Structure 1
């Protein structure tokens, strides 16, 4: 379900795509500059409220691979071994949990940012991305920068990602269904074969997308969209600003 909008309508689906992109960019910069627990908690609260308003079910959440859990557990063990304040006193044993808390905060920060981006992708149609990027970057046209080309590239990247992910899954499934070869090939040969098949699939998809864009009037049609921000967008930005102002206010 990643990079594919969940069926609406909802108040979040009706927001302008540029508003969601601006909010996501501002929150990402804010969390990068001030990765505090209140800011991370405010982001988690915002993601939860947004998902609830958008009607996103928990079944949309992808499963986490086991190897990722192993990495998290191993990383937490190493951070505990590094110690650091504050310290826990368990009888004669003193354990510093400062490193573990930093690891937990960084992991929570990454999870919050990923969740924010995923919720935006679930509530935003891909066709609305290019016009929003072109509108937001319009002041850069004064410098002679190719704003429309950037918007088209961004939109095509979002469009092609789900397609390629599906094609790669089909390639992997087809390879598993192949009968065993009499002569076992080397790992290097298998890698080259898979990469070649992936390149062929990507080129075929790119050709099909290029033909579809040409039939619909060229890349200029991708950025042409009458959507503009409205009062809902102003209200959403005000709510986000209020949440993070309260979260970052000392005391």
Structure 2
């Protein structure tokens, strides 16, 4: 193994991938909240940012995310590494928006870009907190209970909850499976391509092989999951688990509503 290959392996080990739908260990008040409460909080905060996307709302939401992360025991170690290419794209966007000018003092475009960036980051922080503090098995029963009013309109709420639960369960499994496939592809010996035609042909062949292998792995995992669900009593058991809010959920919702009211009042009074 050459020195360049060794350094490349070390860099890949230092980078931390994005890990979602896997709760961090802990028994904090945030972990014990009902999954439906967390989904309601995400919907309410998303609506707040859609209607009042000002700096006041974004700042209060950032403080909210930091406080909740501290209560839940979420550390910086769970944050993924940001690829250098993404930083370069963000920098190019900042330069392009900054060149547009605008009030105040010719920084209107840059401020608008930063506002959009922090708005997206705050929403990602809220969704990340839900992902890091909620077990996947708790989400389908919560969705089924939240959608109970729609059952009177003959909406297939339970089927939607089961589909959502299976999707959330399959995502981490398939993600890990694809990482193994990509690692195996990198270890395969390959002859050096001397011409552009050969490089294009090899790239096309590798893409076709990876797609075929990924489909095969997905079908195999789906068959295994189907057998496991059948052995445990069918898909109806996924959305039939006991799930209900408690008094701490009422406190959490009250705190979020208070945050929304304070944000709306301050932003309406200051105009920002």
- The CA distance in 2 between the partners of 1:144 and 1:10, in whole Å, is 38
Partner secondary structure for residue 6 of structure 1: coil
Residues 248 and 128 of structure 1: is their aligned pair in 2 closer, same or farther, counting only changes over 3 Å? same
Task: Tell me how far 1:182 sits from its aligned partner.
Answer: 7.0
Aligned equivalents of 2:82, 2:60: Cα separation in 1: 24
Shift of 1:12: 0.4
Displacement after TM superposition at 1:84 (Å): 0.9
Once the two structures are superposed, the pairs formed by residues 138-157 of structure 1 within 5 Å of their partners are 138-157=148-167
In structure 2, the residue matched to 1:52 is 70
Give the drift of 1:132.
Answer: 0.1
Q: Aligned pairs, how many? A: 243
Q: Residue 20 of structure 1 is aligned with which of 21, 24, 38?
A: 38
Q: Which residue number corresponds to residue 223 of structure 2?
A: 207
Note if contact 2:145-2:243 (Cα within 8 Å) is conserved in structure 1. no
Which residue matches 1:219? 235
| Aligned residue in 1 for 2:129 | 119
State the TM-score, normalizing by the size of structure 1: 0.93
The equivalent of 1:91 in structure 2 is none
Structure 2, gaps ≥5 residues long: 1-18
Q: How does 1:34-73 map to 2 (within 5 A)?
A: 34-73=52-91
Q: Root-mean-square deviation (CA), in Å?
A: 1.3
- 8 Å contact kept, 2:65–2:126: yes
Check the 8 A contact 1:42/1:244 in 2, yes or no: no
- How far has the Cα of 1:187 moved from its partner? 2.2
Counterparts of 2:241 and 2:59 in 1: how far apart (Å)?
35
Deviation at 1:244?
2.0
SS at match of 2:140: helix
Q: Distance in 1 between matches of 2:53 and 2:212?
A: 42
Instruction: Kindly provide the CA deviation profile for residues 205-251 of structure 1, in whole angstroms up to 9, marking residues without a partner as x.
Output: 11111111111000110011222101000000011111221122133
2:30 aligns to what SS in structure 1? coil
In 2, Cα distance between the equivalents of 1:206 and 1:49? 39
1:45 Cα offset (Å):
1.3
In the aligned structure 2, how far is the partner of 1:39 from the partner of 1:208? Answer: 46
Q: Would you identify which runs of 4 or more consecutive aligned residues in structure 1 move more than 6 Å?
A: none
2:260 is the counterpart of 1:244: yes
Distance 1:156 1:76 in 2: 39
CA-CA distance at 1:41 after TM superposition: 1.3
In the superposition, the TM-score normalised over structure 2's length comes to 0.86
Q: Quick one: which of 173, 177, 184 aligns to 2:187? A: 177
CA distances 1:117-160 after superposition (whole Å, capped 9, x unpaired): 01101100000000000000011111111000100111111111
Q: Are the counterparts in 1 of residues 35 and 142 from structure 2 also a CA contact under 8 Å? A: yes
Secondary structure of the equivalent of 2:152?
helix
